[in-house]
Amino acid sequence: MATTPDIAFERGLPASVDAERSILGAILLDNHAYNEAAEKLLAVDFALESHQRIFARIGELMDANRAVDIVTLAEELARRKEVESIGGVAYLASLTEGLPRRLSIEEYVRIVKDKSLLRQLINICSMSITRAADQSEDALEILNAAESDLLEVTEKGISRGFAGLPEIVRDSFGTIDNLYKEGREVTGLATHFDEFDRMTSGLQKSELTIIAARPSMGKTALAINIAQNAAVRGGKVIAIFSLEMSKESLLRRMLASEALVDSQKIQKGFLGRDDHAKLSSALERLVESHIFIDDTPGISLTEMRAKARRLRQMQGGLDLIVIDYLQ
């Protein structure tokens, strides 16, 4: 039974030809199976190039609302002069041999996707090793590229799909009774700006909040105050990426805000006895909080993501990330 030679097998990379054949055969017998496969698989997820071509052509026929069977698929492949490259019509016919009319392909899809992710992982690691051995690039540049590629592969492996309302309700707040018992105006992260929290119910998980205004209107001050309030008064773990201001300058701002002392006094050292007491108390509260500042200039998104993940792992969680600022 002829098939196209494939680099995956020449290199001994992970693959499951039987699972791939079962998926393709199931679709030829029951076109409804295509939707289940296409939800998680792309043509490139198949190890054999012949299977990639077959799956791609099936998808094109399905998108054109045409029935897909051995005859129509063979005709489409012939029109593109690809019949021989997939092993001939006889190979297409063999895909359905021994399969029941309706076959559950969920497990086969999982296997094919898993093998695809393993091949991609091996490729990324292999490329990184080659680049590292060449020694023509900085190590951090290679690491950042590898991390970016790995993150992309990770995201490809996550398939969330549809969720029914009962599942969403259960995962988000349980029951109406729970909401009633909590009786909270703020369901997210409290900024401790009362009016803002009432309007927004706090900063919600997975949401991006952008503070926008003209220059010198206090965007940084507001963002830092929110982070400071969440950490000092809310006990949250906060990461601050400052692309413009040094960590020392940010600390002075936080200290002045927490102590209710003019920042110019701190900068110039014109402090009275009351100021000293206020600053000592404020500094103690800040030191005990979980605020972490990174002021690396020109930091990339990849490096930012890596540092945030590392901080989350070290602290056992990460509640808020403040970036000042992105362009």
User: Are 100 and 224 within one domain?
Assistant: no
Are 154 and 5 in a shared domain?
Answer: yes
**DSSP conformation class of 189:** B
Residue 178 lies inside a defined structural domain of this protein: no
Verify that 257 and 319 share a domain, yes or no. Answer: yes
Q: Domain for residue 182, yes or no?
A: no
- Listing DSSP states for 295-326 in one string gives --TT--HHHHHHHHHHHHHHHT---EEEEE--
Please list the alpha-helical segments (H only) found in 39-175.
Answer: 49-63, 70-79, 89-94, 106-134, 139-157, 165-172
Residues 157, 205, single domain; the answer is no
The answer to whether residue 173 is domain-embedded is no
Q: How far apart are the first and last CA of the chain?
A: 56
Q: What are phi and psi of 152, to 5 degrees?
A: -60, -40
Please indicate, yes or no, if residue 184 is contained in any of the structural domains. Answer: no
**177 belongs to a structural domain:** no
DSSP character at residue 15: -
Task: Say yes or no: 149 and 32 in one domain.
Answer: yes
Structural domain includes residue 21: yes
Same domain, residue pair 230 and 155: no
Please give the pLDDT value at position 114.
95
Identify the pLDDT of residue 277. 81
Size of the chain, expressed as the number of residues it contains: 327
Residue 31, amino acid: N
CATH of the domain at 294: 3.40.50.300
Place of tokens 């927004």: 200
Sorted by sequence, the CB contacts under 8 Å of residue 317 that are 6+ apart come out as 237
pLDDT at position 168, please? 58
- φ/ψ of 305, rounded to 5, equals -65, -45
Beta strands 320-324; 237-242: pairing state: parallel
One domain, residues 99 and 234:
no
pLDDT number for residue 3: 42
Would residue 81 count as lying in a domain? Answer: yes
Q: What is the pLDDT of residue 173?
A: 56
Q: What is the CA radius of gyration of the chain?
A: 29
Residue 280 corresponds to which amino acid? S
Write the single-letter amino acid at 238: I
pLDDT in the model for residue 4:
42
- What the block records as the tokens of 199 is 């309007």
- At 325 the pLDDT is 76
Pairwise CA distance, residues 139 & 128, whole Å = 10
Q: Whole-angstrom Cα distance, residue 266 to residue 169?
A: 50
Encoded tokens for 58: 């099936």
pLDDT in tens, 63-82: 999 999 999 999 999 999 99
Encode 14-61 in three state secondary structure. CCCHHHHHHHHHHHHHCCHHHHHHHCCCCHHHCCCHHHHHHHHHHHHH
201 and 63 in a single domain? The answer is no
Among the candidates 124, 145, 161, a domain finishes at 161
The pLDDT value recorded for residue 95 is 96
One domain for residues 139 and 34: yes
Spatial separation of the C-alpha atoms in residues 32 and 74, rounded to whole Å: 19
Specify whether 244 is catalytic: yes
| 148 and 222 within one domain | no
pLDDT for the residue numbered 153: 86
Low-confidence residues of the chain: pLDDT under 70: 1-11, 158-185, 265-272, 326-327
Number of structural domains, the chain?
2
Write the CATH number for 39: 1.10.860.10
For residues 131 and 139, the answer to whether their CB atoms sit within 8 Å is no
Whether 169 is in a domain gets the answer no
What global pTM score does this model have? 0.63
Q: What's the pLDDT score for residue 261?
A: 79
Query: Based on the domain organization, do 206 and 131 belong to the same domain?
Result: no
Range of 266's domain? 189-324
Q: Find tokens 């006094």 and name the residue.
A: 265
Asked which of 161, 179, 200 is the last residue of a domain, the reply is 161
Q: Is there a single domain that holds both residue 151 and residue 67?
A: yes
Of 244, 248, 284, 288, the active-site residue reads: 244
According to the model, what pLDDT value does residue 9 have? 59
